[in-house]
Amino acid sequence: MRLRPLIMLAAASLLVSCGSSDAQKQRVLYSMDTYMTFTAYGENADKGLSAAADVISELDGKWSAENENSEINVVNIHPGQAVKVSTDTASLTAFAKDMYIITDGALDISLQSVVKEWGFTSLEHHIPDDARLASLLKNTGADRIEIKDDSVTIPEGMTIGLGSVAKGAAGDIAAEELKRQGVESAILDLGGNIRTVGVKPDGSEWKVGIRDPFGDGIFGVLLVGETNIVTSGGYERYFELDGKRYWHILDPETGRPAESGIVSATAVGAEGRYCDALSTSMFVMGKDKAIEFWRSRRDFDLILVTDSREVLISEPLKESFFLQDGCDWSVTVIE
Amino acid sequence: MDTKRLTRMALLTSFALIIFVIELQIPPFLPLPGFKLGLANIVTVYAVYVLRPADCALIVIARILLGTIIAGNPMALAMSLSGGLFCLIGMLLLSKVIDRRHIWVCSILGAALHNLGQTAAASAVMQTSAVFSYLPFLIVAGCAAGLFTGIMAQAAVNRLTRK
Amino acid sequence: MIRNQRFWVAVAAFVFLSAVAASIILYFSRSESTVRIIQDGKVVTAFELEGHPDEELVFEYEGRKNIVEIKDGRLRMRSADCPDKLCERSGWCGKGSLPLICLPNRLVIEFTASDTDAVAR
């Protein structure tokens, strides 16, 4: 047994020196208010990662809520006016508006003022009262955003934020950039949003774990090729007051943390911003509506975990999902 | 088979089974897969030095099968059988050359063989050789346990029988 | 020779000691090279230490900063804005090390064997 690792090490070093096709390059970047780890393989990896990092930086500059010069913030300080933005921003905003309509209001990018009220952004946490929330909610409703010819107009009193779709969109754009640079195999972790390019250098599928909403580890693994995997859960950003937990995913109808019975919602599919939007939407919708939504569209896949530790998975993912050893949750396949 | 022989084997098997069941209550205090005190082997070691090989085999197999049914863990069967038989065959051979004053030595080596057999079965079942990385740790613990059971068995053999 | 009892005592001793030696060697040559950095209970980032470019990562907690330095496939806590500075004194950590912890700033840097390529969270 002691010999085995030595032999494997020798063989591995031979492989690595013979061809750099399997060499792994990694880059850790801080952007969009989170840490991202990009991993690429092949001879164009370095080039690709640089280009991808630049692209992310650029998008962060346009979409960041923290950066007061970002296109989004410029829109926010000029309500009632048609503000010219870049095509990326206009397209994403229009997409978010469509999603508001498609999800029956579950995804609403105009909740920024409410999110701010709770203190999720400033870290000065407090619980707003019903009256305050009601008055803030009057100025929400993403369907009231106008997008026309690369300019965005928001009504008075509204503040928008692209947080629920930005990373998903950025993942797709970064992946395209990597491919443009000749990278055929990569996996991007954008603060928990996973985007893959191709398959692993040896032809095998990526093993992507999904965070256990009740603990530190993972509850299952997905074996996938090129895809997006986005998970939304209350455990990502929250604060506790008097023993109760308040998370940052709000129900657009009440302005309070969404308590739909879902603790973790994962969307898997070809389009990053779509999956990003859906994971948040399904968290808000709850089990029944999410399943109904999926059945009516079937253009993505889902994995939901309820507060009673039930896992719901859409049929096409059945063969690719593996529950962790030792995890005894029930798994229900949704047809 | 005469009644005396049969009764003797049945008694020894039950005795081993009882020790096994009691031992099940003790939680494994080392984080090693497959770690057991193996106290029921006191009976096996005793049998190796006192009974015919065929009788020993029957006792061991019976105890393992019944023990697996009682413990309710059929997955462990392959590993237990593999370990148990490896150990038994080894000890039977060693008992030809190791005398009654060194039964503890035979038991230690038997324990090591048990771990080897167990691990080999595990690696075949799980189709990975990664389990072998636990073998050194298992053998260290196994030898210690083997020494203890060996001393007990030696005392039993020397006091309960005359050569 | 095999009828000599001492021979067998020697064999048993040999088996036991070899196992002890092997256990010690294995225990200290663990090669978990995936770094997981957890702040305030949340996994902030994870990456492979081997072949990772030399760089510095900055983590902030309640206005206090931890600077982690990665160089030549090892990492250390270069500076920590905290009362005890225990983490700074841990020196360079390579693969398979015990976790590097800055308790006041809720920062944990652990070395794990990666069984997944990424974790969606």
- CB proximity C72 to A under 8 Å: no
- When CB atoms are compared, the residue of C2, C5, C23 closest to B140 is C23
- CB proximity C113 to B under 8 Å: no
Compute the nearest-CA separation of C51 from chain B (Å).
Answer: 25
C81 and C38 fall within a common domain? yes
Q: Count H helices and E strands in chain C, helices first.
A: 1, 8
pTM: predicted TM-score of the whole model, two decimal places: 0.65
What CATH superfamily is the domain A81-161? ApbE-like superfamily (1.10.3980.10)
Q: Give the whole-number percent of chain B exceeding pLDDT 90.
A: 60
Nearest CA in chain A to C31: A5
CB contact under 8 A, A4 and B135: no
* Mean pLDDT of the residues in chain B: 87
Contact between A303 and A295 (Cβ < 8 Å): no
C57 and C106 fall within a common domain? yes
pLDDT of res. A1: 43
Of residues C50 and B68, more confidence is placed in B68
What one-character-per-residue DSSP string does C42-79 give? EEEEEEESTTPPPEEEEEEETTEEEEEEEETTEEEEEE
- CB proximity A1 to B under 8 Å: yes
- Report if residue C90 sits inside a domain: yes
- Report if residue C120 sits inside a domain: no
pLDDT of res. B30: 65
Residue A64: CA atoms inside 13 Å, Cβ hemisphere, count? 16
Distance separating alpha carbons of residues A103 and C59, to the nearest angstrom = 37
Spell out which residues of chain C touch residue B133, defining contact as CB-CB under 8 Å. Answer: 26
Indicate the length of chain A as a whole number: 335
C26 and C40 fall within a common domain? no
Compute the nearest-CA separation of B121 from chain C (Å).
Answer: 19
Nearest CA in chain A to B136: A1
pLDDT tier at A17, thresholds 50, 70, 90 = very low
Distance separating alpha carbons of residues C57 and C100, to the nearest angstrom = 14
| Cβ contacts of C8 within 8 Å, gap of 6 or more | B94, B97, B98, B102, B105, B106, B109, C2
C60 and C107 fall within a common domain? yes
C43 and C9 fall within a common domain? no
Contact between A98 and A90 (Cβ < 8 Å): no
C62 and C23 fall within a common domain? no
C-alpha torsion angle, residues B74, B79, B83, B89 (rounded to 10): 70
Whether the per-residue pLDDT at B33 is higher than 60: the answer is no
Residue B92, both tokens: 């039977």
CB contact under 8 A, C117 and A187: yes
pLDDT of res. A18: 40
pLDDT in tens, A27-56: 889 899 888 999 999 999 999 999 999 999
pLDDT tier at A87, thresholds 50, 70, 90 = very high
Q: Give the whole-number percent of chain A exceeding pLDDT 90.
A: 79
Whether the per-residue pLDDT at B37 is higher than 70: the answer is yes
pLDDT of res. B146: 95
Compute the nearest-CA separation of B99 from chain C (Å).
Answer: 7
Whether the per-residue pLDDT at A57 is higher than 90: the answer is yes
**Cβ-defined contacts of C15-18 (< 8 Å, 24+):** C15/B108, C15/B109, C15/B112, C15/B139, C15/B143, C16/B108, C16/B139, C16/B140, C16/B143, C18/B136
- Amino acid code (one letter) for B44: T
Alpha-carbon distances of C10 from A39, A104, B142, B155, C18, rounded to whole Å: 53, 79, 17, 22, 12
Distance separating alpha carbons of residues C34 and A28, to the nearest angstrom = 14
Nearest CA in chain B to C11: B109
Of residues C77 and C99, more confidence is placed in C77
**Neighbouring chains to A with at least 3 Cβ pairs closer than 8 Å:** B, C
- When CB atoms are compared, the residue of A1, A2, A218 closest to C119 is A218
Distance separating alpha carbons of residues A199 and B13, to the nearest angstrom = 56
Whether the per-residue pLDDT at A147 is higher than 60: the answer is yes
Whether the per-residue pLDDT at A9 is higher than 50: the answer is no
Smallest CA-to-CA distance from A170 within A79, A26, A59, A293 is with A59
Of residues B74 and C22, more confidence is placed in C22
Range of the domain at C14: 1-30
- Report if residue C119 sits inside a domain: no
Q: Where are the domains of chain A?
A: 81-161
Smallest CA-to-CA distance from C11 within A210, B143, A310, A16 is with B143
Distance separating alpha carbons of residues A263 and A311, to the nearest angstrom = 10
Q: Where are the domains of chain B?
A: 3-160
- C68 burial class (0-12, 13-18, 19+ CB within 10 angstroms)? buried
CB contact under 8 A, B136 and C3: no
Whether the per-residue pLDDT at B59 is higher than 80: the answer is yes
- A115 burial class (0-12, 13-18, 19+ CB within 10 angstroms)? buried
- CB proximity A6 to B under 8 Å: no
Indicate the length of chain B as a whole number: 163
Spell out which residues of chain A touch residue C118, defining contact as CB-CB under 8 Å. Answer: 37, 187, 189, 194, 206, 208-209
Whether the per-residue pLDDT at B125 is higher than 90: the answer is no
C75 and C101 fall within a common domain? yes
- CB proximity C1 to B under 8 Å: no
Nearest CA in chain B to C9: B105
Spell out which residues of chain C touch residue B102, defining contact as CB-CB under 8 Å. Answer: 5, 8-9
The phi-psi region of residue A140 (left if phi > 0; otherwise alpha if psi is between -120 and 50; otherwise beta) is beta
- Report if residue C118 sits inside a domain: no
Spell out which residues of chain B touch residue C2, defining contact as CB-CB under 8 Å. Answer: 97
**Neighbouring chains to B with at least 3 Cβ pairs closer than 8 Å:** A, C
Smallest CA-to-CA distance from C105 within C69, C58, C59 is with C59
C56 and C41 fall within a common domain? yes
Distance separating alpha carbons of residues C9 and B107, to the nearest angstrom = 11
pLDDT in tens, C91-101: 788 776 666 76
- CB proximity C10 to B under 8 Å: no
C71 and C54 fall within a common domain? yes
What one-character-per-residue DSSP string does chain B give? --HHHHHHHHHHHHHHHHHHHHHHTSPP-S--TT----TTHHHHHHHHHHS-HHHHHHHHHHHHHHHHHHHT-TTHHHHHHHHHHHHHHHHHHHTTTS-TT-HHHHHHHHHHHHHHHHHHHHHHHHT-GGGGGGHHHHHHHHHHHHHHHHHHHHHHHHHH---
Residue A84, both tokens: 């010219």
Strands C42-48 and A244-247: unpaired
Spell out which residues of chain C touch residue A302, defining contact as CB-CB under 8 Å. Answer: none
- Report if residue C121 sits inside a domain: no
pLDDT tier at A263, thresholds 50, 70, 90 = very high
Smallest CA-to-CA distance from A56 within A158, A157, A169, A142 is with A169
CB contact under 8 A, C5 and B98: yes
Q: Domain B3-160 has what CATH class?
A: mainly alpha
C100 and C74 fall within a common domain? yes
Spell out which residues of chain A touch residue B132, defining contact as CB-CB under 8 Å. Answer: 1
Number of domains in chain C: 2
- CB proximity C20 to B under 8 Å: yes
